[in-house]
Structure formats: structure tokens, C-alpha cells
Amino acid sequence: MNAPRRIAVLGSTGSIGRQALDVIARSAGRFAAVALAGGGNTALLAEQVALHRPRYVHAPAPCAALETAAAASGARFAPPEEVAAAPDVDIVLVATAGAAGLLPTLAALRAGKPVAIANKEVLVMAGHLVRRAMAEGGGDLRPVDSEHSAIWQCLWGETPGTVRRIILTASGGAFRDLSMEQLAAVTPEQALDHPTWKMGRKITVDSATLMNKGMETIEAMWLFDVPMAAVDVVLHRESIVHSLVEFSDGSVKAQLGVPDMRLPIQLALSYPERMPEPAVPLLDLAAAGALHFGRPDTERFPCLRLAMEAGRAGGTVPAAMAAADEVAVERFLSREIGFLDIPRIIERVLEQHRPVADPSLDEVLAADAEARRLAAAVPAGVPA
Ligand SMILES: NC(=O)C1=CN([C@@H]2O[C@H](COP(=O)(O)OP(=O)(O)OC[C@H]3O[C@@H](n4cnc5c(N)ncnc54)[C@H](OP(=O)(O)O)[C@@H]3O)[C@@H](O)[C@H]2O)C=CC1
Ligand SMILES: CC(=O)[C@@H](O)[C@H](O)COP(=O)(O)O
Ligand SMILES: [Mn+2]
């Protein structure tokens, strides 16, 4: 048997990270977790280190249990940017939430590594820098986000230049059937109750506002090198059709499966091979019965429109939007603002943002910091 692929799992304590470790543990030695990086949940990270015995570990503030587990397993503390470029790492899975994924992604691509990219904020903030790092270092991106994994698979074997339209499916999130009046009164607990997927808190709220889908339109532009005009969104309640590609001749291809992230995670790690065994329960279409499709409503869910406009504007606008969204979602989760304040705050921040075209990394980070400051200062309940 071949030596295992050595995987750095950045964000190993999160929803994607934990599922990735499950995929790795079940891979019968095809994959090994050689680096683990978490955030504040150092107790879980310590357990993961004891189980997977990685070479590298990282947490912003390690606890005693993590220090002990690392020493016992011979793991060395190293920052994610160093791990991402280490010669004894074959693939970097970026499953850190938010802006923290940016520097390791750039480091891995500049070092010529494949990056299994779950973190969409990285592409939203700085897709142009990501593509530049790929060109400089020769690294490549393997989409983990379910829709983009679907599109990736639909494109395998197709002739470049034949894509007419990328069609992203959206579940519609927790509040897809609510009126504006009802949306004004929803709680964080209700927002976190996603109808089809089990995910981290931030992305689950983004799904409820349709910001997740908006960010995915920008993610698709950078991953598949298409303009926003070639990206479309269709509502699909069941999350079984993960996305579609329409080709020049009118033919449409889709990828289907049960809503379970272990499949796209596994595929990004095994590429270009498919694993011999399924990572997830098999799809039973007869049991599913009916699949539904519809148009998204940007009146009730303006974040989709805001994100698509930001994607068209480019420069620092998507970075400012993503940063404002991160702050607004955090404020909503801590009950400081209402659900409908999320798009209002983002819109208010974007009105005040002074865009920079083709920004440097420093300019992206400055736009991010300024948008966070502005978003924290917008009071609740202010009309856009
Ligand atoms: N969950 C899903 O099914 C999907 C997720 N994605 C994307 O994948 C990414 C991760 O999502 P998800 O797993 O749901 O998120 P989670 O919130 O569950 O996990 C986030 C991970 O990032 C770590 N983290 C957060 N902030 C920091 C920081 N400042 N520095 C270092 N580490 C940090 C967390 O550490 P800790 O928990 O220890 O604090 C955790 O390991 C997101 O970008 C999301 O959009 C995309 C498609 C599907
Ligand atoms: C699993 C995954 O890829 C999520 O990004 C998912 O797409 C969220 O569902 P929504 O379609 O509700 O945004
Ligand atoms: Mn997705």
C-alpha cells in the first residue's frame, strides 16, 4: 500500500475539522492527520492530539492538557502558516472559520501544495491574492464547500470555455418560509436550526440570511474563473442536488448525494482518485420522493443581493462585506441586534466603505479591520 497522504487539518475542532478527522480515521491508512490547529476549544484539541498523534499542533492559547498531550505525542507547536508550507505536509485542509484561514492558504499555495478549501471567506476577501499565490507557487485548490465540490465534479472531463452558467443550489435556511414580520422576531436558536445541514454557528446563520449563498457566488467566481453574470442561485429545499453546470449546448449536469460533508471532504483529500467505499449513506431517490426548486427572494433576504453586488464591484468591497457580516452575525448571536439588522448593518458599512481596486494583502486587511469597526458601531434597529 502507498504511504498515507499527510494532511494538515486547520480548524480541526470545528464542524468541518471534526468530520475531516472522522474521514481520516476511517480511511484505512490512506490519510494521516500530521498537523492539527484549533481555536479556543483546546480541551477537544488535546483529545484529538492524543488520538491522531500529529507532528504539528497549534492553538492561539494552549491549555495545560494540550501541552501535556502534545508532549506525550511528540507534537511540536508551530503556527498554521509554517505548517501549511512544511515539506512533510502533502495537503492542507483549511477549515478555520473566517479571516484566520487567509495566511495559511496563501502560504500553502505559494509552497506549491494542494489546498482543500472549506473556508469560503478566504476567497471572498482575497480571491485575487489566492489566484496569484497559485500562479506563483503552483499550488491548487480542491473545493470542499458542497456546492463547489459538485461544480468541480460536473466540470471534470469537460472542455474549457464551454460553461454557460453555474447554478448554485440554496436550501433557503432556517427561515425560508417566514414573512418579514416573522423575521423581525426570530431568535438565534431558531436561526441555528438548519433544515438540512449540521454546521458551525456562523455559517448556519449565514445560511438563514442567504449571505452564505451570496458568498458562495463570489467563491464560484474565483474557483472556476467565471464572471458573476455566469453565476445563478436556485432554491432547493432538500439539499440533495448540490449544484449544477449549464454548458454551451444547453446541457445541464448536476451532482447529487445525501447532505453530508464527509463526501466532499473525502473527495478533496483523495483527488484525483475516488475512494473505493462511500463516506456517507447512499442516496435513495425513491425514498426522497420529490425534489423542489424555486427562485430566491432578495426582498426578504437582501444579503444575497448585497453579496452579488459586492462580487461585481470587486476590490476591497467583498472583504468589507465579509467582515461586516462576521461582526453582525456575532452581534445577532449575542442578542444585541435583531435578525433584520444583519443586512442593514452590512449595507450601512458598505455605504461608508472606500473601495480600493486590486488591493494588496495589507489593503485587504485594512478594509477588514475598518469594516469590523464600523459594523460594531452601527446601532440596532437603524433603517438602511
Ligand atoms: N460546516 C460546514 O458544513 C461547512 C463549512 N464551510 C466553511 O468551512 C469553514 C469552517 O466552518 P465550520 O467548521 O462550520 O465552523 P466552526 O465554527 O464549526 O469551526 C471553526 C474552526 O475554526 C477555528 N477558529 C475559529 N476562529 C479562529 C481563529 N481566530 N483562529 C484560529 N482558529 C479559529 C475553530 O476553533 P475552536 O472551535 O477551537 O474555537 C474551529 O476549529 C467556514 O469558513 C465555513 O464557511 C463550508 C461548507 C460547509
Ligand atoms: C454544506 C454546505 O456546503 C453549506 O454551505 C450549505 O450549502 C449551507 O446550506 P444553504 O444552502 O442553506 O446555504
Ligand atoms: Mn455550501
Task: Spell out the alpha helix ranges (H) of 138-200.
Answer: 146-155, 180-183, 188-191
> What is the CATH classification number for the domain harbouring 53?
3.40.50.720
Ligand 1 atom nearest the C-alpha of 145 is 47
C-alpha grid cell for residue 128?
A: 485575487
Q: Could you tell me if the CB of 104 is within 6 A of ligand 1?
A: no
Q: Which atom of ligand 1 is nearest to the CA of 10?
A: 41
Residue 180 lies in a domain: yes
Number of domains in the chain: 2
In a domain, 275, yes or no: no
Closest atom, ligand 2, to C-alpha of 148: 3
Query: Are residues 200 and 96 located together in one domain of the fold?
Result: no
**Which residues approach ligand 2 with their CB closer than 6 A?**
145-147, 170-171, 173, 197, 203, 207, 212-213, 261
Whether residue 225 is found in the same domain as residue 92 = no
Asked, for residue 268, whether it belongs to a domain, the answer is no
How remote is the C-alpha of 22 from its chain's centroid? 18
Q: Are residues 20 and 81 in the same domain?
A: yes
Is residue 136 located within the same domain as residue 22?
yes
If asked whether residues 125 and 247 sit together in one domain, one would say no
Q: Is residue 153 part of a domain?
A: no
Closest CA to 348 of 319, 306, 312, 300: 306
* Domain termination residue (choose one: 143, 171, 194): 143
Q: Among candidates 108, 148, 145, which has minimal Cα distance to 265?
A: 145
User: Counting beta carbons within 10 angstroms of the beta carbon of residue 156, is it exposed (0 to 12), middle (13 to 18) or buried (19 or more)?
Assistant: exposed
Residue 240 Cα to ligand 2 midpoint, Å, equals 11
Question: What pLDDT was estimated at residue 10?
Answer: 98
Whole-angstrom distance, CA of residue 110 vs CA of residue 297: 40
Co-location of 105 and 193 in the same domain: no
> Which domain, by its residues, includes 219?
161-258+294-313
| d(CA 270, ligand 1 centre) in Å | 22
Q: Ligand 1 pocket, 199 CB below 6 A?
A: yes
Q: 55 with 93, same domain?
A: yes
pLDDT of residue 384: 40
Identify the three-state secondary structure at position 6.
strand
Q: What is the largest CA-CA distance in the chain?
A: 62
Residue nearest to atom 11 of ligand 2 (CA): 170
Check whether residue 182 and residue 105 sit in a common domain: no
Residue of 271, 264, 272, 281 lying closest to 23 (CA atoms): 264
- The pLDDT value given to residue 378: 96
The residue nearest atom 2 of ligand 2, judged by CA position, is 146
**Same-domain status, 126 and 248:** no
Q: Please, what are the averages of pLDDT over each run of 10 residues along the chain (384 residues)?
A: 94 98 97 98 98 98 98 98 98 95 97 98 98 98 98 97 98 98 98 97 98 98 98 98 98 98 98 94 97 98 98 98 98 98 98 98 98 97 56
Backbone angles phi, psi at 103, to 5 degrees: -65, -45
My answer on whether 110 and 165 are in the same domain is no
Contact 19, 146 (CB under 8 A): no
In a domain? residue 277: no
Kindly state whether residues 122 and 200 are assigned to the same domain. Answer: no
DSSP SS3 for 85: coil
Do residue 111 and residue 246 come from a single domain?
no
- Are 14 and 97 a contacting pair, CB within 8 Å? yes
Contact 217, 165 (CB under 8 A): no
Interface confidence: ipTM more than 0.95: yes
d(CA 262, CA 265): 5
